[in-house]
Amino acid sequence: MKRLLFSLAASPLLVAATIPSTPDLGTAEGRCRANELGPSFLVDVTGLKDRKGKLKLEVYPANRVDFLEDDNILISAGKTFRRVEASVPASGAVQLCVRVPSPGRYAVSLLHDRDGNRKFNWRVDGIGFAGNPKLGWSKPDATAASSVALSGPTPVEIVMNYRRGLGMRPIR
């Protein structure tokens, strides 16, 4: 009983210790500058299903626990989280740039939010990862979905996956 009362009393402290989640978390840190020269990923996006909606590129620590973890939890814990969002261009090549804190290995995900609701819906939206791992019905391994950022812009190609039959795979 004492443990229950203690945990109930401590829970407001735990809630207060996290940063409220907003769509802007990690965007200022992730935004590349014009002619970016620092550690970053220069992501070429291929295999888009169509040219509607938004793209949301996110960077996480490349480990199982933190990969695809809630943004406010990562930032509150002082861990790496970066985000870049952009409308899908009407035509032409699609390239996004996201800065990272330093050279090293990071897990990278890219959401094609076709319906614009800011959430992943496997029936509608597309998803892709650095390393282009084969997708099943669960998230890929963080190492398979990661890439090593160098001291300057590091090129990465992400192939988008969409629901096809009983799985998620590229359209090609």
Cα torsion for 70, 75, 80, 86, to the nearest 10°? 70
Mean pLDDT of 152-156: 98
- 126, 49 in Cβ contact below 8 A? yes
- Please compute, for residue 110, the number of CA atoms within 13 A of its CA located in the half-sphere on the CB side: 34
Beta carbons of 160 and 48 less than 8 angstroms apart: yes
Question: Given this model, what pLDDT does residue 14 score?
Answer: 40
Q: pLDDT band at residue 157, thresholds of 50, 70 and 90?
A: very high
CA dist., res. 14 & res. 107, Å (int): 27
Average pLDDT over residues 25-49: 91
When pLDDT is averaged across residues 124-139 and rounded to a whole number, the result is 92
The answer, yes or no, to whether residue 3 has pLDDT greater than 90, is no
Report how far Cα 18 is from the mean position of its chain's Cα atoms: 20
Point out the least confidently predicted range of 7-21, 32-46, 130-144. Answer: 7-21
Is 90 exceeded by the pLDDT of residue 132? yes
What is the predicted pLDDT for the residue at 21? Answer: 60
pLDDT at 7 over 60: no
Mean predicted confidence (pLDDT) in 3-12: 39
> Residue 6: what pLDDT?
37
